[in-house]
Amino acid sequence: MQFGINTFLFTFPFTNKSAKLFPQFKAWGFDSVEIAIDDPAGYDPHFIRAALDRHGLACNTVCGAFGPDRDLRGTPEQQQNSLRYMMAILDQMDVLGAKILAGPVYSAVGRAEATPPRERARQWKTVVKHLKRLCDYAGEKGMRIAVEPLNRFETDFLNTVDDALALIADVDSPAIGLHYDTFHMNIEEKFQGDAIRRAGERLIHFHACGCDRGTPGSDHIDWKGIAAALRAVKYKGDITIESFTQDVKVIARAAAIWRQIEPSREDIAVKGLAFLRQRLKR
């Protein structure tokens, strides 16, 4: 199990200049960096891989950014834009050394419109068709797609672990799995430990975040129960801190961060990492 930090907390969009963060990430004790990519043409993956290697950091996962023009259940143009975007990222992951493309790959974030059941069923078939193609492409490269359910305020498509497991079953590919996020599931799951156990071996990526988008451990989430469940399912993937502050304005607006939740981004990273190492490595 490695502990990582998502770049959303410190920079967006990610560019070559973002590599200046790597020495600090390493000094804080992180093993890996989860790169959140907005524009695949906006950075040089060879340059970033060299910087990661120089500082003794891995990039095991890449996180997608799904705006209105990237939507596997949207217009035909939005669907194709999203597919091209994710395939471009998968090509870059070969260079970065990453094995998992994570996030809400199925829809534009923020699209929550109470889709009628018949229309949702049509969208579901469309998303499954595209994810089958994407998983074939990822599988040929030895990579996987991690599907992240989001809370009800950010999507009306996948909100719970069971929703995501149903999609994973319909795609029916060894290249797809579940991406679990403690912030979203604090809202949608009654008991997070039970949800993790239901995911079982299909859990391939894990985001750790406080219940208020702040520091893991300084909140009411049942971290003891989560730790027990992760051990029960023999989870060995990354534990990645994905939190947000007001410092990165575009992300703050997208994530509805309207106030200072923690003293600083460093506080989230350093205290969150210390807590997770102590709690989850028992």
Kindly list the catalytic residues: 148, 242
Query: Which residue from 154, 168, 191, 153 is spatially nearest to 66, judged by alpha carbons?
Result: 154
Question: What is the sign of the dihedral through the CA atoms of 128, 130, 133 and 138?
Answer: negative
Query: In angstroms, how far is the first alpha carbon of the chain from the final one?
Result: 12
Q: State the pairing for strand pair 176-181/203-208.
A: parallel
Q: Which two tokens stand for residue 56?
A: 């003794």
Count the Cβ atoms, other than its own, within 10 Å of residue 278. 12
State the DSSP string of 162-224.
HHHHHHHHHH--TTEEEEEEHHHHHHH-S-HHHHHHHHGGGEEEEEE--TTSS-TTSSSS-HH
